[in-house]
Amino acid sequence: MKALILGSTGYTGMMLMRILSSHPQIDQIIPTSRSVAGQSVIAEDPGLHASIVEKLAGTDGCYVEFGEVDLGSVDVVFSALPHKTAASMIGPIVGTVPVIDLSADFRLVDREVYERVYGTTHPHPELLEKSVYGLSEWNRDEIRTASIIACPGCYPTATLLPLLPFAHLIDYPVIVDALSGISGAGRKEERNLLFNERSENMNAYNPGRVHRHVPEIVQELRRAVSAGSSAGSSAGTPADILFTPHLVPIKQGMLVTATARLTSPMSQEEAEAIVTDAYASSPFVNLTTRSTPQSRDVRNTNRCDLSVRVHGDHIQLFSALDNLYKGASGQAIQNMNIRLGLDERSGLRLSGEF
What mean pLDDT do residues 261-286 have?
Answer: 97
Average pLDDT over the chain, rounded to an integer: 91
For residue 185, the model assigns a pLDDT of: 56
* Residues 20/55, Cβ–Cβ less than 8 Å: yes
Closest CA to 328 of 300, 350, 287: 300
How far is Cα 208 from Cα 68, in angstroms, rounded to an integer?
Answer: 45
- Which tens digit of pLDDT belongs to each residue from 21-37? 999 999 999 999 988 99
* Residues 339/146, Cβ–Cβ less than 8 Å: yes
* Residues 330/128, Cβ–Cβ less than 8 Å: no
For residue 129, the model assigns a pLDDT of: 87
How far is Cα 122 from Cα 168, in angstroms, rounded to an integer?
Answer: 32
pLDDT at 157 over 70: yes
For residue 233, the model assigns a pLDDT of: 45
How far is Cα 37 from Cα 269, in angstroms, rounded to an integer?
Answer: 55
How far is Cα 11 from Cα 80, in angstroms, rounded to an integer?
Answer: 9
pLDDT at 153 over 60: yes
For residue 260, the model assigns a pLDDT of: 97
- Which tens digit of pLDDT belongs to each residue from 196-254? 565 667 888 889 899 999 999 999 999 999 887 644 444 446 789 999 999 888 878 99
pLDDT at 318 over 90: yes
pTM score of the predicted model: 0.93
For residue 298, the model assigns a pLDDT of: 96
What mean pLDDT do residues 134-155 have?
Answer: 97
pLDDT classification of 40: cutoffs 50, 70, 90: very high
CATH numbers and ranges of domains, the chain: 2-152+327-339 (3.40.50.720), 155-323 (3.30.360.10)
Catalytic residue among 62, 151, 154, 304: 154
Burial code (b: 16+ CB inside 10 Å, e: under 16) for 308-319 equals bbbeeeebbbbb
User: Is 154 one of the catalytic residues?
Assistant: yes
pLDDT classification of 187: cutoffs 50, 70, 90: low
For residue 354, the model assigns a pLDDT of: 78
Helix (H) or strand (E) holding 317: strand 314-321
Question: In this structure, what DSSP letter does residue 354 have?
Answer: -
- The identity of residue 249, as a single letter, is P
How far is Cα 60 from Cα 21, in angstroms, rounded to an integer?
Answer: 15
